[in-house]
Structure 1
């Protein structure tokens, strides 16, 4: 199992934790919590033998996990981001005044489930790989634009980008038409309403819509298999929404 231990804390007060195997991770984590400087947001990692402690602090709330050193950084930090969002969404302002282990009974199960998911489910890395590729493309494009402006051949860059964008848009239109006609019965029921549009989006939509729209806007070419996979995860409402934006 790639991720072995995880906790959520406010300062040095642990609110919830879970360990997949008996370790001394809890005592080491307490030392780390005491030594994290200040209250500034941070993303840091600490090594201990063949394990790495990854730490994400946001708005005074710290999520920490211990992972095998072969797990890299992408999956552990994706796990930490997921846990942070779930914890804040579940407990809201209560996190600012809760006692030590005040959320442990309810949230340790979530930690266990998500540790299992991010350690063993290949789709967890697939999602984050796609997000990572788009982030890299965005950074590269910003750098390239600066260089192109210096050279004076901006037109060539814009033409290349437009070509990629058109190709992505056409591929997505075909997928959207197919889903509009057949629907997507495999998606879970909607769980989040989108104000002003009169329908709801599922959690899968919330995960994959930014990936698809960012890819189209950036002109990022997505492989056929990945495109099919993303579209299969979107509800018919989400496909219709983007299809309407593309005027198909």
Structure 2
């Protein structure tokens, strides 16, 4: 369940964005940006099996798209840290930059998206309750913000996600194979040891005890 897309905009002016796969979600995200009030706020919009999360801070919009099952608290933690890094790097220049004027930040977007996708929610220490308080954040259907003419089919290239899933499956399969191999080795060792012990006692009994008196050459 990854962070698929992230965008930073000043109103309708997109300063930078990054996607892990292809699709028409950048177009939908820009349409959402046109509808977002420029007052400080947080909101999530459900669009089919995906969710668009956004946060407005000082008239700058930070938006990401995730799978519907992605943890909301983690999504807003991602947006919060993105906001902190972006403002620390660009400060007031964000209010005069042109469209795509901060593409250099895409590398940090990619790093954060990968970090928040791979790490479990309880391991992301920067997601603090005081920072990502969601009492004012409500999930709504995308119909609440888009009119009928604007609502279009959301297309997401599944190949990248499928490739990631396939890699994880192969990795787990290799690990399982190694685990089963070691278990089999241990089992065979135990069986061989038991057989050797049984054979030893049979020989002992056949030879008249531990002195092997019946088996010694006269």
* Aligned counterpart, 2:64: 65
Which of the numbers 110, 113, 124 marks the counterpart of 2:111? 113
Q: TM-score, normalised by structure 1?
A: 0.50
Aligned to 2:8: 8
Secondary structure of the residue aligned to 1:71 is: coil
**Partner deviation per Cα, 1:182-222 (whole Å, 9 max, x = no partner):** xxxxxxxxxxxxxxxxxxxxxxxxxxxxxxxxxxxxxxxxx
Aligned to 1:35: 35
User: Does the 8 Å CA contact 1:6/1:66 hold for their aligned counterparts?
Assistant: yes
- 1:90 partner SS: helix
What 5-or-longer segments of structure 1 have no aligned partner? 140-248
SS in 2 for 1:40: coil
Alignment match, 2:17 = 17
**Equivalent residues in 2 for 1:41-60, closer than 5 Å:** 41-60=40-59
1:127 to 124, 129, 132: 124
Judging changes above 3 Å, is the alpha-carbon distance between structure 1 residues 74 and 130 closer, same or farther for their aligned structure 2 residues? Answer: closer
Distance in 2 (CA, whole Å) between partners of 1:135 and 1:33 is 21
Distance 1:41 1:130, change over 3 A: closer
Q: Which has the higher contact order (CA 8 A, sep 6+)?
A: 2
| Higher share of residues assigned helix | 1
Choose 1 or 2 for highest CA Rg. Answer: 2
Corresponding residue SS for 2:74: helix
Q: 1:99 aligned to 2:98?
A: yes
Unaligned runs of 5+ in 2: 136-218
Q: Deviations over 1:154-205 (max 9, x none)?
A: xxxxxxxxxxxxxxxxxxxxxxxxxxxxxxxxxxxxxxxxxxxxxxxxxxxx
Q: What SS does structure 2 have at the residue aligned with 1:18?
A: strand
Aligned residues: 134
Residues 135, 70 of structure 1: alpha-carbon distance in 2 compared, 3 angstrom cutoff: closer
Note the aligned Cα RMSD (angstroms). Answer: 2.4
SS at match of 2:124: helix
Give the SS at the match of 1:80: helix
- CA change 1:121–1:35 in 2 (3 A) is same
Normalising to structure 2: TM-score of the pair? 0.57
Equivalent residues of 1:46, 1:53 under 8 A apart: yes
Deviation at 1:31, TM superposition (A): 0.7
Moved over 6 A (4+): 133-136
